[in-house]
Amino acid sequence: MTTRSDTTTALNRLLAEIEHRNPAQPEFHQAAHEVLETLAPVIAARPEYAEPGLVERLVEPERQVIFRVPWQDDQGRVHVNRGFRVEFNSALGPYKGGLRFHSSVNLGVIKFLGFEQIFKNALTGLGIGGGKGGSDFDPHGRSDAEVMRFCQSFMTELYRHIGEHTDVPAGDIGVGGREIGYLFGQYRRITNRWEAGVLTGKGQGWGGSLIRPEATGYGNVLFAAAMMRERGEDLEGQTAVVSGSGNVAIYTIEKLAALGANAVTCSDSSGYVVDEKGIDLDLLKQIKEVERGRVDAYAERRGASARFVPGGRVWDVPADIALPSATQNELNEADAETLIRNGVKAVSEGANMPATPEAVHLLQKAGVAFGPGKAANAGGVAVSALEMAQNHARTSWTAARVEEELTHIMNDIHTTCHETAERYEAPGDYVTGANIAGFERVADAMLAQGVI
Ligand code: NDP
Ligand code: 2IT
């Protein structure tokens, strides 16, 4: 019989091996620690999960592709970026996950994101495996023509690795509707196939699903609302701090307003804006989605209620709930202390791994409801899977239908995480609930499919 302490010892040995075999990948180590540290109770309780090699297979990607992406800027200069696609696990369905274009991208970052994606996608219950890709290309300040040439070069290699039944990329940081359009065009040109289901986040009118742009932010607010309900409260009248000002942040702010809460901040890598009257979404969308500008322009144009704090941290602004929606490790221990001191009730992760392990620990210890990204931000990939379903059936659903499905999926994920945490004697611990529930689904499929 395997005891919990034997299991913990074995998992710790595996974590040391992961660090040794994957040097210089701190984000991947962090993600692996965060998941494996919560699995001992389920592995000890269900002996089939202690099968040698199961967890070892789970932490090793099925396939990792790294390629050169050469492209020419508007002055004719040649740039060489690096492209990645990590196909992590396909036990539940085709690899599924976004592409990130950001100067900080490297193999370790893509592996952390791909690893998280396995469990997130399992939690949706929609039959999708886990993968992630991207490039260290920085789209800031690049013209549309430069972005198009980059995307075309990127797809000229990526196309041979993806397909509607194989691997289905989508957007992430630096990849939105514009980039998905260029990528899809090049895929169609090279393959001579109208294969709508090969990418998600497509435009309306050529295979995109209504509500996909909104889905991650809307879903995170629905998850936060479910956590608040569990505490006997709702979002009505609550003040929220939101970081980021991209796709996830914008539709988080929109849904908060729809549910009667007030988001008073947004940010980008230059600093943050605090707006006492609440963020004016029309203005923010104009600056970020149309002009591709910086958040200080928001404060300049909004008038007296708003100010820009260069280089500051949104977590200094007092609020009832916090929704980090920019990037990994953007909310540290000191930020968690500030949030707790200011009386925060819930933190729900729109971004992937935005809170450091020390911050998560502090928040949970203080009794703050904490929604981990792999559960709270699963709405985006869930609606991507609904986009694939619509593409397959050559149909498109109404916005109301997609939103109804999204609401159902987010509530279901919340219930699953909540109940799983209770089952493993960690009531209210959504991190443990999400990790174990996602793990059970993937591990069961891997065991059934043999040693591959
Ligand atoms: P966008 O590119 O649309 O927006 C990213 C925002 O975060 C920008 O405001 C950007 O500011 C800011 N940001 C990015 N990197 C940093 C950094 N290193 N430091 C400070 N600010 C930063 O991306 P998304 O909104 O799509 O993604 C945001 C987060 O949500 C990511 O963690 C992503 O993985 C996650 N996510 C996204 C999903 C989706 O469907 N798009 C689904 C699930 C999770 P700046 O422009 O100055 O860089
Ligand atoms: O992190 C994520 O879940 C995403 N970037 C969305 C992935 C997707 O395939 O829609």
Q: Which of 132, 255, 288, 345 is catalytic?
A: 132
Single residue among 367, 392, 411 that ends a domain in this structure: 367
Rg over alpha carbons for the chain, rounded to the nearest Å, is 21
Which residue's CA is the nearest one to ligand 1's atom 36?
A: 351
Environment class of 258 (CB within 10 Å of its CB; exposed 0-12, middle 13-18, buried 19+): exposed
Mean pLDDT of the 263-283 span:
98
What pLDDT shows up at residue 405?
A: 98
User: What phi and psi values does residue 100 have, to the nearest 5 degrees?
Assistant: -115, 125
410 — pLDDT class (breaks 50, 70, 90): very high
Q: Is 188 part of a structural domain of the chain?
A: yes
Structure tokens at 199: 């990418």
Shared domain for 153 and 230, answered yes or no, is no
Pairing of strands 321-323, 167-170: unpaired
* 384 lies in some domain: no
Per the domain annotation, does 296 fall within a domain? Answer: yes
Interval 219-233 mean pLDDT? 98
Q: Where are the alpha helices (DSSP H) in 80-124?
A: 107-124
Among 88, 117, 209, say which to mutate for ligand 2: greatest number of ligand atoms within 8 Å of CB.
117
Residues 239 and 316 in one domain: yes
Check which CATH number belongs to the domain holding 226 and give it.
Answer: 3.40.50.720
Instruction: Give the domain-ending residue among 367, 399, 418.
Output: 367
The residues, any chain, with a CB within 8 Å of residue 323's CB and separated by 6 or more, are: 220, 221, 224, 240, 241, 242, 243, 252, 256, 263, 347, 348, 349, 350
* Ligand nearest, relative to CA of residue 215: 1
* 48 in any annotated domain: no
382 is a domain residue: no
- Would residue 416 count as lying in a domain? no
Question: How much is the pLDDT for 3?
Answer: 84
Same domain, yes or no, for 245 and 338? Answer: yes
Q: Which residues contact 311 (CB under 8 A, 6 or more apart)?
A: 270, 271
pLDDT at res. 162: 98
- Does 67 share its domain with 121? yes
Cβ of residue 174 lying under 6 Å from some atom of ligand 1: yes
Return the residue whose CA atom lies nearest to atom 10 of ligand 2: 381
- List all residues whose CB is within 6 A of at least one atom of ligand 2: 96-98, 120, 170, 172, 200, 352, 380-381, 384
Long-range contacts of 48-53 (CB under 8 A, 24+ apart): 48/447, 49/439, 49/443, 50/2, 50/7, 50/10, 51/447, 53/451
Q: pLDDT-derived band of residue 255, with 50, 70 and 90 as boundaries?
A: very high
Q: Is the pLDDT of residue 1 over 80?
A: no
The CA distances from residue 56 to 13, 59, 85, in Å, are: 11, 6, 20
In tens, the pLDDT along 133-179 reads 999 999 999 999 999 999 999 999 999 999 999 999 999 999 999 99
Ligand 2 centre to CA of 130 (Å) is 10
Are 227 and 360 within one domain? yes
Number of alpha carbons in the 13 Å side-chain half-sphere of residue 178: 18
Burial class for 392, CB neighbours closer than 10 Å (0-12, 13-18, 19+): exposed
Q: What is the overall mean pLDDT for the chain?
A: 98
Banded model confidence at residue 194, pLDDT cuts 50, 70, 90:
very high
- Kindly state whether residues 94 and 233 are assigned to the same domain: no
338 and 231 in a common domain: yes
Q: Are residues 154 and 270 in the same domain?
A: no
The pLDDT assigned to 4 comes to: 86
Domain boundary among 308, 334, 367: 367
Contact 164, 195 (CB under 8 A): yes
What's the CA-to-centroid distance between 177 and ligand 1, angstroms? Answer: 14
Whether 132 sits among the annotated catalytic residues: the reply is: yes
The number of folded domains in the chain is 2
d(CA 212, CA 235): 23
**Atom 4 of ligand 2: nearest residue by CA position:** 98
**What one-character DSSP code corresponds to residue 163?**
B
Helices (H) and strands (E) in the chain, counts: 17, 13
Q: Are residues 336 and 236 in the same domain?
A: yes
Same domain as 224, residue 138: no
Instruction: Report helix angle 379-392 to 212-230, nearest 10.
Output: 130
Per-residue pLDDT averaged across 390-417, rounded?
A: 98
SS (H, E, C) 188-209: HHHHCCCCHHHCCCCCCCCCCC
Q: How far, in Å, from the CA of 100 to the mean position of ligand 2?
A: 10
Summarize the confidence of residues 103-132 as an average pLDDT: 99
186 lines ligand 1 (CB under 6 A): no
Residue 321: pLDDT above 70? yes
Instruction: Report the CATH number at residue 82.
Output: 3.40.50.10860
Please check whether residue 350 is in contact with residue 375, taking contact to mean a CB–CB distance below 8 angstroms.
no
Residue 306 confidence (pLDDT): 98
On whether both 86 and 161 belong to a single domain, the answer is yes
350 lines ligand 1 (CB under 6 A): yes
In a domain, 269, yes or no: yes
> Whole domain around residue 243: which residue ranges?
215-367
Q: 292 CA to middle of ligand 1, Å?
A: 14
Q: Are residues 276 and 342 in the same domain?
A: yes
Of 286, 314, 313, give the one whose Cα is nearest residue 300: 286
Residue 25 domain-assigned (yes or no): no
| Ligand 1 neighbour 246 (Cβ under 6 A) | yes
Residues 339-352: pLDDT tens digits?
A: 999 999 999 999 99
Q: How confident is the model at residue 355 (pLDDT cuts 50, 70, 90)?
A: very high
